[in-house]
A and B are shown apart, each in its own frame.
Chain A
């Protein structure tokens, strides 16, 4: 089966489910979610059987099929599966703030929209022309606008939606203006051809265009200077959307960033300046994300700042593109994102369980968890430790590879900022562990966790520990 049928398959599955949704009884819309998970798992199976698309002019110009495309397609599919699983447990809250609080009535579309966003992300993974890149990126972003503002009876969700919409539209403006300048300087929109036509005369215009595109990609991955939306949107959006935004949307942003930056890093005319730009972004992002996280008291907001900080560490790995270390920038990014996937989804599943128990996202809601549900508290401790980058967890290797690459490229200033960031990270992540074990809670009733959530958290935590000892499986997937 040619690879580009995969995206068509996912879109088709979304449309079929949307049709089906109209005929299902009001109380049984969650079946759409189950079918969606099934469709995405089948898509993941198809990904292994997919072969390169036919070798005609249209496909070779617009559609890349290499290990990077495969990895990010699989990543988007897996993230979609996890998000839909999270939705199944979250659908009561979703229903509470939409049309009909007593039934699942208007939650069916939510699952379908996630399928469409996944299709957009899969196209982004393969986009190697600025046109296909723009269209697939917008497919994802516009779907995400709806997913963020989905709870239309909830003021927080709507405000988050409007903020996301305005900043997203600004970033679209920067993206197309940047594309137009790159097109003007080279006469082509194909990224491979841009590398070939680069010269001393047009490099200034190209770098101007690149800077504009980087601003819009910074919005996608949540890096400085476009990080301002992250805390508010993460806090206001429905929790599954937040998880989806912080994992899948960030990963596809990095997939696109790797493609766009490749010709600039690999051409000696622009390599040095590009390294400088990305290193500055990385250093600033690490510093802002970690330092702003310190005073937070809301766990969802803390995760938002932590996602900014993690974007900074990944950017550090990308800035070290021409590094002397063994791993390529794609491998460092891919590894970090895989680890980040495990940690962040585990954290959001835990947040979902705590939210169902206490109705609050505050860190105070974790108080007394050590006695109220020791198993969950233990798993939470491991996840938090991995987020902080504790050795013997996968989080440690993610940061280690990023720092190794940066050392190979002698980026000393961002590296020192990175150490400040890691130290700050230990402080704010451990606030949650302190709340769980050292603070007494007024409530003593045990915290109930849905069986599905508990198994998912346990499996993700197991993987975090396993990869903390043997990172090889992921590195093998990335072709190292």
Chain B
């Protein structure tokens, strides 16, 4: 059976992959996917810790798992707004490459 450390390792790895993706990739859609990976990493950590903290009645501490639902909901709202902005940008500039976002300099 996987131990707590395994879960934390996987989630840390996911977070690192997500952050690396955001920094290295130039396509905004891919950057957005990497951002979702970062949130998924946090969710895995929360569920793993929720199973670690056993409350007085022998059940896991559900506070962490409830927070996961909040994170999923907020992430969905963020994606909805984010994709709308990306579509608007594509209509105006015909590009979704961050290298092309250079109208402001200073």
Contacts and interface: CB of A to CB of B under 8 A. Distances in A.
A176 B44 CA distance: 11
Nearest to A189: B63
B85 A138 contact: no
A152 B93 CA distance: 11
B38 A170 contact: yes
Given A142-B78, A179-B42, A153 B92 contact: yes
A162 B101 contact: yes
Contacts of B41: 173, 177
A199 interface: no
A158 B93 contact: yes
A162 B42 contact: no
Interface residues of B, number: 44
Interface string B67-92: 10011001101100110011011001
Contact of A134 (B22, B70, B88, B104): B70
A contact patch SS: helix
Given A138-B78, A156-B103, A235-B104, A161 B67 contact: no
A169 B63 CA distance: 23
B71 A176 contact: yes
A289 interface: no
A148 to B, nearest CB: 9
Contacts of A130: 67
A161 B89 contact: yes
B18 A155 contact: no
Contacts of B103: 155-156, 159, 236
B contact patch SS: helix
Nearest to A166: B31
A173 B104 contact: no
Nearest to A235: B104
Nearest to A170: B22
Contact of B45 (A165, A174, A184, A296): A184
B82 A165 contact: yes
Given A158-B92, A159-B103, A173-B38, A180 B85 contact: no
Contacts of A169: 32, 35, 78, 82
A159 B101 CA distance: 6
Given A177-B15, A235-B104, 18 more contacts: A134-B74, A135-B74, A138-B74, A156-B104, A159-B89, A161-B89, A162-B101, A169-B82, A170-B22, A170-B35, A172-B75, A173-B42, A176-B43, A177-B38, A183-B64, A184-B49, A189-B63, A235-B106
25 contacts: A131-B66, A131-B70, A134-B70, A134-B74, A155-B103, A158-B85, A162-B101, A169-B35, A170-B35, A172-B75, A173-B15, A173-B35, A173-B38, A173-B39, A177-B41, A180-B11, A180-B42, A183-B64, A184-B46, A184-B52, A189-B64, A189-B67, A231-B106, A236-B104, A301-B106
Which 6 A/B pairs are nearest by Cβ-Cβ distance?
A173-B38, A184-B49, A176-B42, A180-B45, A187-B53, A169-B35
Interface of B: 11, 15, 18-19, 22, 28, 31-32, 35, 38-39, 41-43, 45-46, 48-49, 52-53, 61, 63-64, 66-67, 70-71, 74-75, 77-78, 81-82, 85-86, 88-89, 92-93, 98, 101, 103-104, 106
Interface of A: 130-131, 134-135, 138, 142, 145-146, 149, 152-153, 155-156, 158-163, 165-166, 169-170, 172-174, 176-177, 179-181, 183-184, 187-189, 231-232, 235-236, 296-298, 301
